[in-house]
Chain A
Amino acid sequence: MQSSLSLSLSSSSSIVTRSDRKVLQGNTFFAGKCSITPRSLRFCGLRSEVYGLQYSNSARLVAASLNRRHLKKVSAALSDNGTPSKFDYDLVIIGAGVGGHGAALHAVEKGLKTAIIEGDVIGGTCVNRGCVPSKALLAVSGRMRELQNEHHMKAFGLQVAAAGYDRQAVSDHANNLASKIRSNLTNSLKALGVDILTGAGTVVGPQKVKYGTDNVITARDIIIATGSVPFVPKGIEVDGKTVITSDHALKLEFVPDWIAIVGSGYIGLEFSDVYTALGSEVTFVEALDQLMPGFDPEIGKLAQRVLINPRKIDYHTGVFASKITPAKDGKPVTIELIDAKTKEPKGTLEVDAALIATGRAPYTSGLGLENINVETQRGFVPVDERMRVIDTNGKSVPHLYCIGDANGKMMLAHAASAQGISVVEQVCGKDHVLNHSSIPAACFTHPEISMVGLTEPQAREKAEKEGFEVSVAKTSFKANTKALAENEGEGLAKLIYRPDNGEILGVHIFGLHAADLIHEASNAIAMGTRIQDLKFAVHAHPTLSEVLDELFKSAKVKADVSSPVGEPVAA
């Protein structure tokens, strides 16, 4: 597996991005400036040398000529109106995670003969080791939190005896949910007639894939959707018991009294919610100067006030965990901290457990990319805006696409799925470019955080560059009837927009059910709907969705209604 891949990052956290797979950090690889240690740079250098050795010039030539030959054949095949004459399949997808699954479903709908190769379990990270089981744990933590909050219960007039939990049962709930979703996914693939091929997939040449030990199949188009694995920085020894990654944490094998969480992105934040609800104390170790990097600063600040400060959590910011040793011989887990900038030692933490939530590294080794002259960039498969894989010469490799965490564009399950659908559209001859700025992201803490589009600083920077005006509108959950009925008035929704034409640049929500509320905004961005039009949309009363209604109505747009309400707006 790939954890040995250990890229350059010793940082946790990340700057941009979002990922409800609790990932985040992916983009830090690119942003890299603050996160790459000199040590790791050397490491990278080594890697590329290794790759260099593997390519001989002749191999390259062969690959290139092969490409050319196949190009012709393909156009011929296409003219056959899609019936697979020369290929075993129209589309082969390597990796049956959420991205691969989404692509397969859409491909079948488009009439493509599709196979999906999976070396592990159907469902990938999201279903088995990510979003899905973590939601089960968070559902537990949300209820625990509520039951433990006497003040909250009293306000409802409820009396509840001391709340407790059975760790094993909680853990079972998470596992059961994962296996249920996994079987749903498998059944849906089978029902649609998608061939599930078992074994690790390798690209052995253009339009040719090997799976298992020596089964080679051909496909007109190939999608790489191999996803990612938890990223573990150098110096950290993961034993799976006291020093763990999200993979282990989701099994909830024990609830430590005190756990350090390295990285305060989505993964770290969600786990802090779970652990503190179950009675642990938490210490965050964050490489950047503030907690929750990547969130809109205002939302981050409010979130910190609600999710961190009042809970049994403390934190160290601006430090790397340079060395983490699991508990053994009656000694606690030790975490050596160094200053993120000066590299000076900043003391040692002694805790009962450490969760490494420093992001995720792409799972792309052994894919055989060298066979088609493609070199990964820090593990990520380079792609263009249409997810076409780019080779070392900067040219796109025909019929080869990469979606999801493996390309690092946006490490989110639903982004992978959207990219997969976009690729299938292209394969079927319809040009399609996915608008990533319309993809929402959510963090399922209590209350939840969600966002779509740009943060305020990003929007202001863009406005500066492109010379337009930016306005911000905000509404509080305190003004929402439904939120107050739930005694959950803590929350804020924030709209960043262009007052001149009513374009939505970003929406950020912190509050009850924020993750469900964001879609009105993300759909509007995807459809290009303007605020002046949204203002006329009707929301049921009393619902939380009125928070967004309120938000749109409080925006001051100078432009007139762009189209009669009710008529679909063409994107």
Chain B
Amino acid sequence: MASLLQSRVPSSSSSLSSSSSGIQWRPSAALSSRPRRRIFTVQAKIREIFMPALSSTMTEGKIVSWIKSEGDVLSKGESVVVVESDKADMDVETFYDGILAAIVVGEGEVAPVGAPIGLLAETEDEIAEAKAKAKSTGSSSQSVPPPAASPPPPPPPPVSAAPLTPAAKVADGPRKIVATPYAKKLAKQHKVDINSLVGTGNFGRITPADIEAAAGIPPKKSAPVASVTLAAETAAPAPKASATTFPEIPGSTVVPFTTMQSAVSKNMVESLSVPTFRVGYPVATDALDALYEKVKPKGVTMTALLAKAAAMALAQHPVVNSTCKDGKSFTYNCSINIAVAVAINGGLITPVLQDADKLDLYLLSKKWKELVEKARAKQLQPNDYNSGTFTLSNLGMFGVDKFDAILPPGQGAIMAVGASKPTVVADADGFFSVKSKMLVNVTADHRIIYGADLAAFLQTFSKIVENPESLTM
């Protein structure tokens, strides 16, 4: 029996994989257009081969052997690797043509389902890149939004008579970390970095409970937590309005939620568990409007401008780009992925502009256009909509002057942008003038982002927007 090898394009991390949208491109078209994009396309053609789920109970798989070795040319349908699951050994086939550029997980090693085990390059030119990437990523994938990405060393628990100070321990050479066998298994499964934990078990060892706590899963062994998907999740019909029943109004019709609507509903209800607060800020947009007029013919959209500005501000305020996954730690995201809310035939989806701080405005615009097209065609890949680290919602085009956004689960902050409109402003000298201003309102998770953080972030954002030259650089 053979199973199809799914592969996916890495969504984030290192600059090499700087984009994910390449999959859908027809290479010929891309090559014929602009040289710049060509490079970009090529980069996107490195695919990750990841550990397939060969059975419903499989959580990790062991590489029995690689049938192909690095540098081999693969054609669709060929067996590439033999994977041992909890049930059996299976040959796994690829469904892309390409070259096996790098083996990330070697023979005899174990990887959790979904983790990259190898890299597939489209052409020989990309092999070196893929190899470099393989090195940089190692065996741990950064592209899957893990339930708990390795957080930086958490502050020592303030309560409990902390046994010695962990810092002191670290100081005296390599700290010896003892974890029980099951703890190690769980850590691997949930991608928890054992080295970052402080054990609570006998003799300070790390126990399964420690891992579960770090991974933010309830201390009951259950199926591994699936990655969070913002939309398109086949969730159960939206939670029924608890116990309260509403009086039925005659003639009303009941239309069940679509899958997307269910997912939205679920996420919205989920958001209630996060303590949020809001900070508003007026931003002058004259300079931005002027810039927009200039770059509009080149295909740049206002969304791209705002996303870029937000990303650049986030780069200076990483805490606003962080996430609180377990209520105990900050998860600093390594890339800045701006999700932009889009209304789409009766639904709402948030395509993600990945690495928005690194891409230039034109690429960003181009990418955005594609994402929107894909969204309309319902072709978005999970990575295209669930890898966001910060969300942007703009209702300015409808004349809304200010509004309040709900924080999507899994993110630290969301920015609601109102319409820019002429406002009478008095300057320091008492002179009146009319300037365009828009109101920006950010909703944030107060567990990790505090008022001052947000204020500082908004100040930076406002400076960028008011001096937008840097956006084009």
Contact = CB atoms under 8 A, between A and B. Distances in A.
Given A305-B84, A314-B185, A350 B205 contact: yes
A314 B182 CA distance: 8
A258 interface: yes
A282 interface: yes
B326 interface: no
Contact of A283 (B86, B181, B201, B203): B181
B133 interface: no
Contacts of A258: 180-181, 202, 205
A310 interface: yes
Interface size class of B (residues with CB under 8 A): 10 to 19
Given A257-B201, A257-B202, A305-B84, A313 B178 contact: no
B184 interface: yes
A312 to B, nearest CB: 4
Contacts of B181: 258, 281-283, 312-314
Nearest to B88: A305
A458 to B, nearest CB: 23
A352 interface: yes
A153 to B, nearest CB: 15
Contact of A309 (B86, B180, B201, B202): B86
Interface string B74-86: 0000000000101
Contacts of B178: 350
A352 B202 contact: yes
A305 B201 CA distance: 28
A331 B204 CA distance: 11
A257 B203 contact: no
Nearest to A348: B176
A294 interface: no
A305 B185 contact: no
A312 B201 contact: no
A304 to B, nearest CB: 10
B90 to A, nearest CB: 13
A332 interface: yes
B184 A314 contact: yes
B203 A350 contact: yes
A257 B180 CA distance: 9
Interface in A280-338: 281-283, 305, 309-310, 312-314, 331-332
Contacts of B208: 312
B64 to A, nearest CB: 9
A9 B84 CA distance: 34
Contacts of B201: 257
Nearest to B204: A350
Nearest to A282: B181
Given A257-B202, A332-B202, A310 B86 contact: yes
B223 to A, nearest CB: 11
Nearest to B60: A309
Contacts of B84: 305
Interface in B203-220: 203, 205, 208
Contacts of A332: 202-203
Interface in B177-211: 178, 180-182, 184-185, 201-203, 205, 208
Contacts of A314: 181, 184-185
Contacts of B202: 257-258, 332, 352
Given A257-B180, A281-B180, A312 B185 contact: yes
Nearest to A315: B181
B221 to A, nearest CB: 10
Nearest to A310: B86
Which of A282, A310, A312, A331 lies at the interface centre, i.e. has the most chain B CB atoms within 10 A of its CB?
Answer: A312
A207 B201 CA distance: 61
A547 to B, nearest CB: 18
Contacts of B184: 314
Interface in A249-295: 257-258, 281-283
Contacts of A310: 86
Contacts of B205: 258, 350
A331 B178 CA distance: 14
A331 B205 CA distance: 12
Contact of A305 (B86, B180, B182): B86
Nearest to B64: A301
B125 to A, nearest CB: 40
A332 B199 CA distance: 15
A331 B180 CA distance: 16
A74 to B, nearest CB: 60
Interface string B158-188: 0000000000000000000010111011000
Contacts of B180: 257-258, 281, 312
Interface string A414-434: 000000000000000000000
A281 B203 CA distance: 15
Contacts of B86: 305, 309-310
Nearest to B181: A314
Nearest to B59: A310
26 contacts: A257-B180, A257-B201, A257-B202, A258-B181, A258-B202, A258-B205, A281-B180, A281-B181, A282-B181, A283-B181, A305-B84, A305-B86, A309-B86, A312-B180, A312-B181, A312-B182, A313-B181, A314-B181, A314-B184, A314-B185, A331-B203, A332-B202, A332-B203, A350-B178, A350-B205, A352-B202
By Cβ-Cβ distance, the 10 closest A-B pairs, closest first, are A314-B181, A312-B182, A281-B180, A281-B181, A332-B203, A281-B182, A258-B180, A350-B178, A283-B181, A312-B181
Given A281-B180, A314-B184, 4 more contacts: A257-B202, A312-B182, A332-B202, A350-B178
